[in-house]
Structure formats: structure tokens, C-alpha cells
Amino acid sequence: MSLAWKVTVTVVLFAVCAAAGVILIVALLGTPPTVDYTAQSPGGAVNVALQTVGTYGSGSHASWVSYLVRSPQGQWVHTTNFQVPAHTRINVTIYQYDSGSPLRNQQTGLVTGTYGNAALLNGKTFQVINSNAGNGVAHTFSIPSLGINVPLYANNGNANLCGAAPCTLKSPHNIIRFSFTSPGSGNYRWQCFVPCGLGFLFGNGGPMSTLGYMGGFMKVVA
Amino acid sequence: MSETQTAGTSTPADPTANTPTDQTHHWWRLIAVWVVLSAILDPLFYYLAGPHIPPGTMTDVAQGAQFDFNILFIIALPVLLAVWIYVIYAIVMWRASRGGPEPVAEAHSRGHLGIQVGWILSTTVIVIFLFGFGTYELVQPGGAGGGQGSSPIWTPTSKTILPIQVIGQQWKFTYRYPTFGGFETNQLVIPNDTTIEFNVTSLDVIHSFWAYQLNVKADANPDYNNVAYATTQQLGTFIVRCSELCGIWHGAMYNNGAVVTKSQFESWARLTEFRLRKNTKLLPPYALTYTPDANGADGGYYPDNVDPYSKVETYGAKQPKGGG
């Protein structure tokens, strides 16, 4: 076998091994599941339910803050991916179980992109939250490309807050409701704009940078 | 048989057919082809493709960049043609025939001092000219659309300048309009025929504000005000992207902006100022930079006894007096 052949074979084998390694790592890391709401109420509004918890409470990142999504069957799923039909009214209910703080940027204290640029906090309409007063803001639900931003009012940090997901209504909570119309098909990134990744640079690492915790995708299908 | 035919079809039995006379003939032929092609392609590029070269002409600095790109191409094209024409000509005329002798050998293969000196001199002149041209274009009034730091050297001549603050954070840009009550919004709307002063900063890591069609690009650093200028001269929309790798959602950190008429801008700004008035009252007073601390973005550095990343201190903690 000539030197050229040896080099070629070595390079090809290395490339194959490297590709296999990458595929294996990606497969092991996995991606959070997607909760599918498209079968719900065909032609009508779709009801999406989320919850936020201060600490997930189990698994490899038990201390991380996280969102969860409730499936149409009523089960809480540890994911941040959900799928909705296009051009449909989306009614979102968020059960907020976490404490809060003043916002790094109060601009995200404003409700935008929802019907009437407003939301309901425990049944009362609001358009802005002063994060420097009261319990502050725990998290936001924001889809930047759609201009949607909803601040989630926090619970009192001294209360006996839920420490493990999924939380139930027995724990201190706030219920935030809002609606918007889904756009055309595509993947729309959403995230929390409160730097709640404690212990990470500027609070935006860890759960803020990991799918399945504080950001994900709203998949819109025709 | 002509000289050209002699050189181009030299037979294996006549390896010395490439005489100095032949070379002179080739030389003039190459120059003629090069001059003709350059004279045709350069104007074609400038007048047909030139007006469509990015970033367009939405601002004065964008138009300046487009002009610079066109000049660079017009100068580079003849150089490119010279190399390609020579290479193609050599392949066609002086290729070796199967089993024959080397088509260029002996004295002809040892190089040509005149050509070497000429090549070095001409490329040196071109590079020095481009250095001067590029420097002049960079420092003309208002700069070239790049961030000039907090104390710009090359300021625009316009007396009426609209300041707009660009705030980067993971992972979006927001914009404050200090001359309209200091409201802050996700939308970047600017008036036409107006010089804009972009004051670019960040609330966390380093981002980079890149308004592509405006040809404005300035790094957004925490605790630092980076100033860039541009004068709008065309209506339309433009794309804003972050061009500094800033975390997992860096690739999604973009939005669209718009250049509108002055009256449209005035209406939009007044309406937005009114619409956002409740939240504007809650924003920190307008400042060129905002230092995130344990209590949000209301100014002040982390005091020594507070760990900004501690859960206890970060969430709802009161700053010790003197710490901000």
C-alpha cells in the first residue's frame, strides 16, 4: 500500500470516528420533548399551560430554575418545547411558583404582543409590573421575534415556596394568563429575560442557556 | 510561419524555438488582451453591479462603504485579470506535448528581472495607494459608521443630531430615545435625512450592534458608551444583528429597524412615548451606561461584601449604603 493510500485511509477513518463521536454525544445529550397542542380543539383556541419553579428538585440539575409544560392530558412535562397550530388564538396560563427580584432591565416589565398588550395576574388585568416594588419579577415569558413579553410577578421570597417540580396549587403561586394569535408556521424561540441562572456569569448561563429550563421553542405548524 | 506559430507549436525537435523575439511578441499580445478586458469589465462592473453592492446607500456611511468596495474591486480586477490571462495563456501556448521536451527551458525558465521588478513595484504602488485611500475614507467627517469609543474623534458636521441609545443584553437589543422622554423599546425607528448618534452599551457581556444596511457597527460593552454616527438618506427597512458571539441565543439576537420620514418618525416617537409612559417612569434615569448590580440595572457596582451571583444576595437583596 502506497503512502498516499495510507494517508487517505487514515484520514477517512478519523473522519468517520469523529462524526460517529459527535452523533453519539448529540444523541446522549438529547433534546427535550415537544408537547403537542395541535390536536386540541381543532379550529378553536388552544390552551397552553406552563409553570415556573425556583428549583427543579431532581435530576442532574436539581438546583436549577425551570419551566415545565403541561400536556393536553394534564401531565407536567419537563420541557420548554411546545407545538401549536398556525393562525390560532393561543391562551397561555402560567403557574408561577418562584420568588423574584428587580429586573436588570425594567423594559421587560412591560406586557407587549398579547391581546390588548395586557395580561391577567390572579384575575386582575395588568400592563406593567414595577419590578422595584413588592415581590419583584420572577421570570418573563418572551418571544422576541413576535414582540411578545409578559413579566411574571414573583412570590414572597420568605414564603414556604415549592422546591421540587411539578409544583401544585398548594404552594404559594401566582397565575398569569394572556392570549395571542400564533403566526405562520416556523420555530419561534422563547426565553426568560430575567437573568435567573444563579451562580453563572451575569445570571445567563446554566438554566438560561439550556433547552428544557428557561428557554425553548414554540413550534408552529400549519 | 509567424513568430506566434513558432512559439505556440514548437516541435519536439526544436526545443529552442522560444526565442527572445517570440517572448516580446507574447508580451504585447498579453498586454493587449489585458488592457481590452480591463477596459470592458471595469466600467461594466462599476455601472451595472456597483450600485447593488452591499451595504447599499441607506446612509452616508453605507454609501461610502459601497463606493470603497467598488473602488477596491475596480483596482483588484485588472490584477486578477493579469494573473488569469497569463496563466491561461501559458497553459494554452506553452503546454508540454506528450513525449516532447520541456516547452520552456534553459534561459527562459530562469525568470525575468524586468517582470519581477515591475510586478513588485506595481503591487507596492497599489497597496500604498489603497492604504491612503482607505485611511482617508475612514476619517472623513462622521467616520465610517464604526464605533469610535466614548470620545469620538471624527464627528459629523450636522448641527442637529438625534441621539439613540442601543442597549445590548442576552439576548436582545433595546433602544432608548433620550429626546423623547427616555422611553425604551424593542423597535429601532429612525427618521430620514437625519444624523443619528448611536450610543451603544451593554447590560451584561460584550455584544456588537450591527445595523447592516446602515453600515453601522459598534461593540456593546458593559460600563462603556461606544458612539457611532450615520446620516440617513433613504427610506426602508434594515436588519440589526449581534456580531459578537454572546451565548447560546447569539444567533437569534436580531431584529428589524426602519428609516421613515421625519413626520412619520415624529408621530411614532410621540405615540410610543405616550404608550410607554408608565414603564418609562420605572426605568433608571437616562445615562450613557448602566451597571447591573444585585438590584437590577439601576446603577452602581457590586459592593465588596455582596456576591452578585449569590442567590441570597441577588434576589431582592438591599444594597448596603455606599455600595452603589
pLDDT tens per residue, range A90-101: 999 999 999 988
**Taking residues B3-28, what's their average pLDDT?**
52
Tell me if chain A has a CB within 8 Å of the CB of B273. no
Find where cell 409553570 sits: A51
If asked whether residues B86 and B165 sit together in one domain, one would say no
- Region of A113 (left: φ > 0; alpha: ψ -120 to 50; beta: rest) is left
List all residues 6 or more positions away from A16 whose beta carbon is below 8 Å from its beta carbon: none
| pLDDT surpasses 70 at B14 | no
Considering the domain boundaries, does residue B115 fall inside one? no
Burial of B17 (0-12, 13-18, 19+ CB in 10 A): middle
Chain B residues touching residue A109 (CB < 8 angstroms):
279, 282
- Residue for cell digits 504602488? B125
How many residues would you count in chain A?
222
Domain termination residue (choose one: B95, B125, B152): B95
Q: What is the mean pLDDT of residues A48-76?
A: 94
Instruction: pLDDT band for A26, please (50, 70, 90 cuts).
Output: low
A10-24, A86-100, B274-288, range with the lowest pLDDT: A10-24
Task: Determine contact: B314 vs chain A, CB below 8 A.
Answer: yes
The pLDDT, as a whole number, for residue A42 is 66
Q: Does A144 score more than 70 pLDDT?
A: yes
In a domain, A196, yes or no: yes
In this structure, the answer to whether residues B275 and B167 fall within a common structural domain is yes
Q: Is A21 inside a domain boundary?
A: no
- Mean pLDDT in residue range A144-172: 94
Asked if residue A27 is part of any domain, the answer here is: no
Bridge-based pairing state of the strands A174-181 and A89-96: antiparallel
B179 and B266 belong to one structural domain = yes
CB contact under 8 A, A99 and B297: no
For A31-41, how does the pLDDT look when each residue is reduced to its tens digit (9 = 90+)?
A: 899 999 998 76
pLDDT-based confidence at B93, cuts 50/70/90?
confident
> Does the structure show a pLDDT above 50 at B277?
yes
- Report yes or no: B166 at the A interface, CB cutoff 8 Å: no
Q: Return the percentage of chain A with pLDDT > 70, whole number.
A: 96
B146 CB neighbour count, 10 Å cutoff: 17
Q: Residue B245 is part of a domain; what is its CATH number?
A: 2.60.40.420
| Sequence-separated (6 or more) residues with CB below 8 Å from residue A53 | A65, A66, A68, A97, A98, A162, A163, A164, A165, A166, A167
Confidence of residue B95 (pLDDT cuts 50, 70, 90): confident
CB contact under 8 A, B171 and A144: yes
Q: In the 8-state DSSP scheme, what is residue B9?
A: T
Smallest Cβ–Cβ distance between A106 and the set B172, B205, B283 belongs to B283
Q: What is the pLDDT of residue A20?
A: 86
Q: Which residue has the higher pLDDT, B192 or A135?
A: B192
For residue A11, what is the enclosing H or E element?
helix A3-29
Q: Mark yes or no for CB contact B249/A193 under 8 Å.
A: no
State whether B165 and B90 are in the same domain: no
- Do B185 and B267 fall within a single domain? yes
Split at pLDDT 50, 70, 90, the class of B31 is: very high
Q: Which amino acid is at B236?
A: G
Residue A203 maps to a domain: yes
A7 domain-assigned:
no
Domain annotation covers residue B129? no
C-alpha cell of residue B108: 527562459
pLDDT digits (tens, 9 = 90+) for B228-265: 999 999 999 999 999 999 999 999 999 999 999 999 99
B273 and B191 in a common domain: yes
- Tell me how many domains chain A contains: 1
pLDDT surpasses 70 at B280: yes
How many structural domains are present in chain B? 2
Q: Which of A127, A155, A202 should we substitute to test contact with B (largest number of B Cβ atoms within 10 Å)?
A: A202
A169 pLDDT higher than 70: yes
Distance of CA B138 to the CA centre of its chain: 11
Q: How confident is the model at residue B22 (pLDDT cuts 50, 70, 90)?
A: low
Q: What is the pLDDT of residue B16?
A: 46
Q: How large a percentage of chain B has pLDDT more than 90?
A: 62
Question: Grid coordinates standing for B139?
Answer: 476619517
| A contact set with B (CB within 8 A) | 99-107, 109-110, 112, 127-128, 130-132, 135-136, 144-145, 147, 157, 189, 191, 193, 195, 198-205, 208-210, 215
From the list A101, A202, A210, which residue is nearest B204 (CB)? A202
pLDDT of residue B312: 40
**pLDDT at residue A28, as a whole number:** 61
By CB neighbour count within 10 A (0-12 exposed, 13-18 middle, 19+ buried), where does B163 fall?
middle
pLDDT band at B300 (very low <50, low <70, confident <90, very high): very low
What percent of chain B clears pLDDT 70, i.e. is strictly above it? 81
Taking CB atoms and an 8 Å cutoff, what residues of chain A touch B283? 106-107
B273 burial via Cβ count (<10 Å: 0-12, 13-18, 19+): middle
Q: Comparing C-alpha atoms, which of B234, B244, B232, B231 is closest to residue B200?
A: B244
What whole-number distance in Å separates Cα of residue A45 and Cα of residue A30?
Answer: 31
| Domain span including residue B214 | 161-282
Residue B23 confidence (pLDDT): 56
Residue B219 has what pLDDT?
97
Nine cell digits for residue A123:
384575575
Tens of pLDDT, residue by residue over B173-204, are 999 999 999 999 999 999 999 999 999 999 98
Q: Confirm whether pTM is higher than 0.90.
A: no
Across chain B, what does the average pLDDT equal?
A: 84
CA distance A208 to A67: 11
Q: Helices marked H in chain B — which ranges?
A: 3-8, 20-44, 60-93, 113-139, 262-275, 277-282, 311-314
Contact between A102 and B295 using a beta-carbon 8 Å cutoff: yes
- Whether residues B70 and B167 share a domain: the answer is no
Which residue range is the domain that position A123 belongs to? 41-216
- More confident: A89 or B20: A89
What per-residue confidence (pLDDT) applies to A27? 63
Please tell me the least confidently modeled range out of A54-63, A201-210, B181-190: A201-210
pLDDT tens, position by position, A38-56:
987 666 899 999 999 999 9
Asked whether residue A71 carries a pLDDT value surpassing 60, the answer given is yes
